[in-house]
Every structure is written in C-alpha cells, then in structure tokens.
Chains A and B, each alone.
Chain A
Amino acid sequence: MKILVCVKQVPDTSGAVAVKEDGTMNRAAMAAITNPDDMNAIEAALAIKDQNPGCKVIALSMGPPPAMAMLKELLAMGADEGVLISAREFGGSDTFATSQILAAAINCVGLEKEDLILCGRQAIDGDTAQVGPQIAEKLGIPQVSYASRIEKTGDTLRVRRALEDGYMTVEVKTPCLLTCIKELNTPRYMTVRGILELDGKPLKTLGYDDLKDEPLIEADTIGLKGSPTNVFKSFSPPVKGACVMMGGSGKEAVEKVFELLAQKHVI
C-alpha cells in the first residue's frame, strides 16, 4: 500500500506579501514554506503508516528546483520517497493544468487498488481548493474533501468532513483522494535521525520527457498555454492592526484609548 501526498511549496504569507511591479507575487523575496494544509496531509499519511508498517509514503510536488528542499524536510519527517515534478513546460500552470500534470505524475508513479492520495485542502498562495478535487476527477477516483478525521479499516476509509454548519461522515474505498484540513491533526517535526538518514531515501525529479507520453499531458493542457485562468493582479490588502477590546463603561474605555494613544505618541 502507498500513500501519495501532493504538497506545494508556498511563500510564507504570515509576514508581508511582496508584489512585483507587474502585479504578480515576488516569490523570491519571500520565505518559502510547505503549504500548511499539506503538512496536515503529510501527518495524516505518516500516522496511517505508523499503524500499517508496510505502507509507503511518497511526497509529490510540482514546482521549481528549490522545492526539493521542502521534499527533503518531508523525508526527514518520515516520508519514504520524494518526487519533484519540474519542467519549464509546466511553468505558469493554473489549477486545471497543475492537476492535469499531477494526475499524470501519479499515473506514472502508479496508483494501485489499495493506494490513497492525500492533498491539503488549499494552498495559502492561491486559496482555490481546486487542485485536489481536480486530480481525483482526472484520475476517475472518488474524492472526499475537508477531511477532519480519517479512520482506515482495510480498503475502507471512514472520513469525517468538516462543513460550514456541521460534520458529514462518509465511507469510501481505495483508491481515493482526500483533502485534509488543519483540524485533522498536528504535524510532527523532523528528527535529527531523519535528517541524517536522508541520503538513503529516493528523491527523484520527473521532467517533461518523463511525463510526455502520459495521455493527460498535451501541449494545450499544461503550463501557461494550457491554463484557462491567468493572474491579472496581486496586491497586499492594507494591514489591519490587532483588535483590542476595551472593557468597562464608555468613559473608562475612552480614557484607556487616550492612554494608549499617548503611549504610542499619537497624541
């Protein structure tokens, strides 16, 4: 059994978002992190592996070569293999093209009956939540989104979906794809031993030549040309300060506000 986890390296948006003059995001100027929801997907995979010793966890990512550093961190957490899908032809892909390429890569790695695909719900740079479900559609397998609890018994998964107004529990059989949310778990850290044992773990790159014969890969379904959507403009919304509630009566609250403004040399 294997668990394929789709991960993305994203700019850390917890700090300031750098935007280029042309309106696109300046990724080089921002620290790169593993997309937080994808970390929950990795943790879910590793937790299943802990319970099923024969299970193999493979982290897949489409991105430029620096994303290799992220895959190494996932291997140091306990994943068994890393696959970077990287080629100039894949650059500029939107969610449609990305899921097309990832689905082709999953076909290339091989999806068997007892296998599972895990994705994060959405990436913090695009926030579309489209890639996971699109991969499932393109592979023709069932999907369960917003997984907040996963119980695996044989080839059956009982998944609790977190919806806006409650939970929905569904059962699904492998092979299938789940998208994971923060509520699912707390991702583990790397370990020193995991870092030291990195050299023994397979880490490979799938380029255009490796995937070009896959049926899903066509010139008009991948990369910028194959993307129905294009980013018109990115910008940072004006920063809002943290909200502080002033208790007490109206007069007391006003006095506190005056005090704070004086402390900050505003008045």
Chain B
Amino acid sequence: MILSEKHQMMRKLFGQFAETEFTAELLERLEETGEFDWDIHNKMAKYGFMGTKIPVAYGGQGGDSLAYCLMVEEFARVSMVLSIYANTSNSLGAGPLLFCGTEEQKQKYVTPIAKGEKILVFALTEPGAGSDAGGTLTTAAPDGDYFVLNGRKTFISGAPFADYAVVYAKTDPSQRGSRGISMFIVDMKLPGVSCGKPENKMGIKGYPTSDVILENVRVHKSDLLGPLHKGFAAAMKTLDGGRLGVAAQGVGIAQGCLDESVRYAKERKQFGRRIADFQGISFMLAEMATELEAARELLYSAAILKDKDDPEASMRCSMAKYFATEMCNRAAYKAVQIHGGYGYIKEYKVERFYRDARITTLYEGTTQVQQMVISGGLLK
C-alpha cells in the first residue's frame, strides 16, 4: 500500500522517535528490572503518543487507526515493550470510554489518559475466563448509588501502576454466558482494590502485569460505563482495535528481525564467505520479507476498513492479528536461526525479539480465538 504523504510523515516521526529515544541503555534497564519507566512514558506523553488515535476534543492527536498502527509498528520495530507504553491508552484504555462513555466520563477520564497524565488499564481476563470472557465470575451488586464489586482479574497489563481500570463484572447473574456483564471504571485507589505480585514473564519486560483483586469495592453508579448488563458487546468492539495494535506489534517485530538478519547475514563470514551468499540463509530472508509485506498490507487494509465502520472490519482485524502475529513468530525463529548461537545470547537484539514475539499470538485473543472470529464470519 502506498501511504499518503501525511502517513509517510507519521511513519518517519515514529521511527525517528523510537530510534533516538529507545536507547540500548533504556532497553537493557527494562529487561533487567522489569519495571515501568516513567521517564520514557513522560517523553512519549509530551509528544502526544498516548493519544495518537484519541480525538482532539479529548486531548488526543486526532489520528486514525492507520496512524495508530504505524506508531505501534515503528515502536515495536525497536522495542516491543515500549510499543505497549503508547498502545494501551489508544486501544484498550480509552477505547471502551470512547465507545460507550457519557460526555462527562469522556472529559473526566479520556482527556488525562490521552495526555499521559493518568493510566487506565483493561481488566477483562479472570483466572477461569480467558478466551471465554463470557465466563466472568467477578460480580457487581447494586447498593443504593453504588455497585459493590467482588472478584479477581488476572494478567492485567499495567495494573501495578495504573490509576484506573475498566473492570468487567456480572451484574445480572440470572443471564448466562456473555450476557448480564457490565463495565465499570474503577479507581485503583478505592478501598478494597489491590494488585497481586507482578508476573515474571518470558518477554515484554518493563511493563508489569499482575492480578487485580476486588474486595467489596464500592463504585459509584456514575462510573458504570455503557448500558447495564450489556458491557460485553462493548468489550468486543474495543478488542477489534486492540487486535490491530497487536497485529502492528507483529509487523514491527518482524521488521526488526528482518533488519537485524540482513545486517548480520552480510557481516558474518563462514567458510570464507558472508553467510548471506548461501541460499539456505538468503531464501530465509526472502521468505521473511515476503510474509512481512503480506502482513503489513493486511494490517493497513484492516485499519482503513475499521475507520470506515465496514461490516468486514471485525473479521479483517482478526485476520490481521492472526496472520501478523504467527508470521512474526516465524520471522523471529528464522532471525535467531540466521544468527546461529549468537542469536541465543542476550547481547543480540533477536534474542529479545524472539521472546517478545511469543506473547502476540496469545494476548488480546489467541490465534485460535481469531480463527473462531474469522470462521464465524464466514459461516454465519
């Protein structure tokens, strides 16, 4: 796809920012400590990246889904975890609020999120409700002007340092499956809210993930988000946007893998020649590059369809996520293979790409869930 001049400028901006600001020292620190880095968060916030896709009226930059994908892609090309820093607020963070919030809720919550002053996370998954989000056990019982929330959310990215969480809870226990679920904006400082110990993850280190425990948390009814008992449909709409973001991460990682592999293959000598001169290596590069371009086209077209509210958009977002994330894992595998033993050593970027790539086929709907969405669309 030939990008418009403005989108080309955006790609340049995001790429320049990532290459300049995501320094080797910063990436090493994130890997070593696993802790959230406020300095780079604040720098991203200063340039408005937390609100790339959020409308100007709510403090954002007013970009479209393609702009958002380009940002995530260019950031992930250098650092997957830092792409998440700017991703969440644009997708799962502000998404549910923009879809279903009242004007008052948008002003109160979306504006500080877009400016990076506040962090909002998405709390849907539970120990027993992963792909089957309909199996939510967290409850919210009405009590005067409040709802009382009880339950446990798991694998909540960003929970340990978040200001707010959008929590999904069952408000009508008589309804089965995904029905009877509502969304609430929960202030993480409310009495009864606590976080579990941050998980020790394989990759995306530097963006802590933990459980969120809700014990008799009293949430004011003004923080009910969207219609009562109908939160799940809204969650699904938000996930479409989130899936684009993860697909963009896949494209970015694959590009990083390809760049590193091309460079290394031209540099590394074995048997008296550079390894790029061996077909076993050069064909792997050709395969990586071709699959990457295919995924990129799929991603950009899905982003454009989504902004047009095309009926095909949801399926296309799932296709993009399915293909791009599986593709980036193949690319990461080949990148490590091309690097040989060095690819297994932390000094080389592909070692990190390999571990970071793995999450992309798992979170925001596994590959199999995407296949369910796609086949569901075909067979309806």
Chain A interface, number of residues (Cβ within 8 angstroms): 14
Closest 10 CB pairs of A and B: A192-B61, A193-B61, A190-B13, A192-B63, A195-B9, A195-B6, A265-B269, A192-B52, A191-B48, A189-B17
- In the complex, A192 Cα to B16 Cα: how many Å? 13
Among B47-73, those with CB < 8 Å from A are 47-49, 52, 56, 61-63, 67, 71
Contact A189 B9 (CB under 8 A): no
Verify if B10 is at the interface (C-beta below 8 Å from A): yes
Contact B13 A192 (CB under 8 A): yes
Contact B47 A196 (CB under 8 A): no
Q: Which residues of B contact A (CB under 8 A)?
A: 5-6, 9-10, 12-13, 16-17, 47-49, 52, 56, 61-63, 67, 71, 269, 272
Contact with B along A236-267 (1 / 0, CB 8 A): 00000000000000000000000000001100
Which residue of chain B is the closest to A190 with respect to CB atoms? Answer: B13
Verify if A3 is at the interface (C-beta below 8 Å from B): no
- In the complex, A265 Cα to B270 Cα: how many Å? 9
- In the complex, A190 Cα to B49 Cα: how many Å? 11
CB-contact partner of A195 in B10, B49, B56, under 8 A: B10
- In the complex, A76 Cα to B12 Cα: how many Å? 12
Which residue of chain B is the closest to A72 with respect to CB atoms? Answer: B9
Verify if A73 is at the interface (C-beta below 8 Å from B): yes
Verify if A18 is at the interface (C-beta below 8 Å from B): no
Beyond contacts A189-B13, A192-B62, A196-B61: 14 other A-B pairs, Cβ-Cβ < 8 A, are: A72-B5, A72-B9, A73-B9, A76-B13, A190-B12, A190-B13, A191-B13, A192-B48, A192-B52, A192-B61, A195-B9, A195-B10, A195-B13, A264-B269
The smallest C-beta distance from A124 to any residue of chain B, in angstroms, reads 17
The smallest C-beta distance from A101 to any residue of chain B, in angstroms, reads 27
Contact B16 A189 (CB under 8 A): yes
Contact A76 B47 (CB under 8 A): no
Chain A to chain B contacts (Cβ below 8 Å), 16 pairs: A69-B5, A72-B5, A76-B9, A189-B13, A189-B16, A189-B17, A189-B47, A190-B12, A191-B48, A191-B61, A193-B61, A195-B10, A195-B13, A196-B6, A196-B61, A265-B269
Residue among B5, B13, B269 facing the most chain A CB atoms (10 A cut-off): B13
Which residue of chain A is the closest to B64 with respect to CB atoms? Answer: A196
Verify if A55 is at the interface (C-beta below 8 Å from B): no
Contact A198 B13 (CB under 8 A): no
Contact B62 A196 (CB under 8 A): yes
Which residue of chain A is the closest to B61 with respect to CB atoms? Answer: A192
Set of chain B residues within 8 Å of A192, measured between Cβ atoms: 10, 13, 48-49, 52, 61-63, 67, 71
Which residue of chain B is the closest to A192 with respect to CB atoms? Answer: B61
Contact with B along A196-233 (1 / 0, CB 8 A): 10100000000000000000000000000000000000
The smallest C-beta distance from B257 to any residue of chain A, in angstroms, reads 23
- In the complex, A29 Cα to B62 Cα: how many Å? 35
CB-contact partner of A193 in B48, B269, B272, under 8 A: B48
Contact A193 B9 (CB under 8 A): no
Which residue of chain A is the closest to B68 with respect to CB atoms? Answer: A192
CB-contact partner of B62 in A72, A189, A193, under 8 A: A193
CB-contact partner of A191 in B6, B12, B16, B47, under 8 A: B47
- In the complex, A69 Cα to B8 Cα: how many Å? 11
The smallest C-beta distance from A24 to any residue of chain B, in angstroms, reads 28
- In the complex, A198 Cα to B13 Cα: how many Å? 14
Set of chain A residues within 8 Å of B52, measured between Cβ atoms: 192
Q: A73-B9, A265-B269, A265-B272 are in contact. Are A193 and B56 (CB under 8 A)?
A: yes
Set of chain A residues within 8 Å of B272, measured between Cβ atoms: 265
Set of chain A residues within 8 Å of B12, measured between Cβ atoms: 73, 190
The smallest C-beta distance from B89 to any residue of chain A, in angstroms, reads 13
The smallest C-beta distance from B82 to any residue of chain A, in angstroms, reads 15
The smallest C-beta distance from A71 to any residue of chain B, in angstroms, reads 12
Which residue of chain B is the closest to A76 with respect to CB atoms? Answer: B9
The smallest C-beta distance from B313 to any residue of chain A, in angstroms, reads 22
Which residue of chain A is the closest to B6 with respect to CB atoms? Answer: A195
Contact with B along A65-94 (1 / 0, CB 8 A): 000010011001000000000000000000
- In the complex, A191 Cα to B60 Cα: how many Å? 11
Residue among A73, A196, A198 facing the most chain B CB atoms (10 A cut-off): A196
The smallest C-beta distance from A128 to any residue of chain B, in angstroms, reads 27
Contact with B along A176-202 (1 / 0, CB 8 A): 000000000000011111011010000
Set of chain B residues within 8 Å of A191, measured between Cβ atoms: 13, 47-48, 61
